[in-house]
Amino acid sequence: MAKRIMVQGTGSGVGKSVIVAALCRILTQEGYKAAPFKSQNMSLNSYATADGLEMGRAQAFQAFAARKEPTVEMNPILLKPTSDTGAQVIVRGKPIGNMTAREYHDYKPRALNLIEDCFDKLDRENDVVVIEGAGSPAEVNLRENDIVNMSIAKLLNAPVVLVGDIDMGGVFAWVVGTLELLDEEERELVKAILINKFRGDIDILKPGLEFLEKRVNKPVIGVIPYFQDIRIQEEDSVSLAVAKGKKTVTSEEKAITIEVVQLPHIANFTDFDALEAEDDVLLRYVGGGEELSEPDVIIIPGSKNTIGDLSYLENSGYASEIVEKARGGKCVVFGICGGYQMLCSSITDPEGVESKLEATEGLGLLPATTEFESHARKMTNQVRAMADLPFYTGEIAGYEIHMGRTYFSDGEIKNAFRIFERSGEKVIDDGGGGGAVYGNVIGTYIHGIFDNDAFRRAFLDHVRARKGLPLLRADETKSEDKNKTGIDWDAEYNKLADVVRSNVDMDKLYDIIFFSSSERYG
């Protein structure tokens, strides 16, 4: 049976996912077979596994940190919010329907057997399982039907490290208050405190740490510095909003400006990490009434509520701006997944999968129509496709996570990406399955498309050519010390592991993992 360690937090966004990824990489570097586990995740950033199932992207990121192929056992339940009070519920990689908050609250007790079955598999196959909680364990109104925080720690007899974010302010009160709201058994499971995102002089912080240790009678095993030089894939748009608010980069030295419309239900914004890493690109998210500038590229990203977010574009004025800029030839408009669907002339939803509206007009930039179908026909696949674009013809890889099919209605529209393999099986594409190009408007269902180095560079050179700028081929953007045509994720995991290892008392952490973990649970 595997040892286990659980990372819980004083709240959302304190860095639990990142710490779990770091521990997965550290343990792997030390020769242990490690795996991440999060019983329930709420996020619109998801990932399609090799066997065509859907899971939280954060757990996929953590699995890669452990040098493992992601599997749905690492994230048995994924909630994808469709509104403020409802979500699509995905169980062991497959959607079982939409539920209101009340409906899901009543459903949760039935999920414990499933969660335990998934953990059992990881338990048998690994030396250590690194478990992640969600939000805060001190939400007293959620304690009765908790299936992700202290109930899981107790079920698995997992020692807990409690993470607090000092950058938000009030971390001492946050830690003390969290522990005060736990019952005695739960407090006993918390073995240590970890302070995250510290800026400043550690000597000035030490009196506060000494006070905290005496107050809660638990050791502070580390203080992780605030870092901006390590790339991580964020779990949800809360972190995106924070990063957007802090961004101060100007476009003076950037050749290409890309603006991503920050939809209310934006999904899989990690699609744009590789673009943001390019030296000649300024990528910014625009939303909340902020005006579009005069970008070279406008991207409409994925969405978990395509019709609702399309309404947002219309009501906010972004729709008319995007259409005007596209039809005026001022920029390239690129839609991914839900964004691709919004570019169509119309969207129909006869079964009420997303909306009570049976039909609604799209932006009309692609002569095509999208029809939503039942949850049972959701497409979740890793794919390979051939691109057929004026600026690039070649193979690409990515993944699709979508409901609905898109059908062309004009002979002038062309299939831009012909999918020839889904989840390892050869297929014949269904016309609009891969994507479309119509003048300066491009759409695709393929997430991760910009992670393909050759395609990404060809697309950016296409934009440069439109501006009369010299092209930068992929081999011209490489140097001995940095591959500028892509993100070396393995190196980023190692950097993350180095930072955590050098700022945590690893001897104490190993004691917690190997001497506090029970050999058996349940």
Hey, which residues are catalytic here?
337, 447
Determine the Cα–Cα distance for residues 7 and 161; give it in Å rounded to an integer. 5
Cβ 164 vs Cβ 174: under 8 Å: yes
Cβ 81 vs Cβ 45: under 8 Å: no
Give me the long-range contacts of 347-352 (CB less than 8 A, separation at least 24). 347/306, 347/307, 347/310, 347/371, 347/372, 347/404, 348/372, 349/307
Alpha-carbon radius of gyration of the chain: 23
Which DSSP string do the residues of 217-229 spell out, in sequence order? T--EEEEEEP-SS
Looking only at the bridges linking them, the beta strands covering 366-371 and 344-348 are: parallel
Q: Which residue type is seen at 344?
A: C
Q: Which residue type is seen at 225?
A: P
- Spatial neighbors of 406 by CB under 8 A, at least 6 apart, are 340, 341, 344, 368, 369, 370, 431, 432, 433, 436, 443, 445
Length of the chain as a residue count:
522
- 3-state secondary structure (DSSP) of residue 361: strand
SS3 helix, strand, coil % of the chain, rounded to 5?
35, 30, 35
From its phi and psi, is residue 219 left (phi > 0), alpha (psi between -120 and 50) or beta? beta
Q: At what angle do helices 57-65 and 16-29 cross, to 10 degrees?
A: 20
Handedness of CA 212, 213, 219, 225 (dihedral sign): positive
Cβ 397 vs Cβ 452: under 8 Å: yes
Q: In terms of Cα–Cα distance, which of 437, 417, 410, 237 is closest to 343? A: 437
Q: In terms of Cα–Cα distance, which of 279, 280, 232, 284 is closest to 482? A: 279
